Amino acid sequence: MAYRGHQLMYQCEHHVADYMKKHKEHVKQACHQLVNHKVKVLTIDGESIEGVVMNVDDHYVFLQVEDQRGFYPGGHGSGHGPGHGPGHGPGHGPGPGWGPGPGHGPGPGWGPGPGPGPNPNVILPLALFNLLTISLLW
């Protein structure tokens, strides 16, 4: 269906939409049984995520995740990883800058490196229709 001033670029076929709705409802019912349990989830994109099911609504399952390396690369603690090359002005590392004084040169900089560690309170929402498997972990 075209609207004045709009051009339809994609429309899901009705039988596919009906199947997706049924799949989402089936996954939602399964997830409700797993609230407060540790699970391993495999997504349609091949991601494997472990966490504790904290809540489920009509669209998402909410996992409290322990291993956050895939979600928050790098860190912001002391020794932030390698620097970004020649520096640009006074300031963030012992390397040369764009002007007088130290800048973003060799040494500590804003790159991958140790940080404060994972935040145990991070809740990851996962779309119900994106889940392939959910396994209960002991």
- 4-54 tens-digit pLDDT: 788 999 999 999 999 999 999 999 999 999 999 999 999 999 999 999 999
Residue of 19, 14, 41, 11 lying closest to 127 (CA atoms): 41
Distance CA 130, CA 60 (A): 9
Which secondary-structure segment (H or E) carries 49? strand 48-56
Distance CA 12, CA 22 (A): 15
- 47-105 tens-digit pLDDT: 999 999 999 999 999 999 976 555 544 444 333 344 444 444 444 445 444 444 444 44
Tokens of 128: 């119900």
Residue of 64, 81, 69 lying closest to 118 (CA atoms): 69
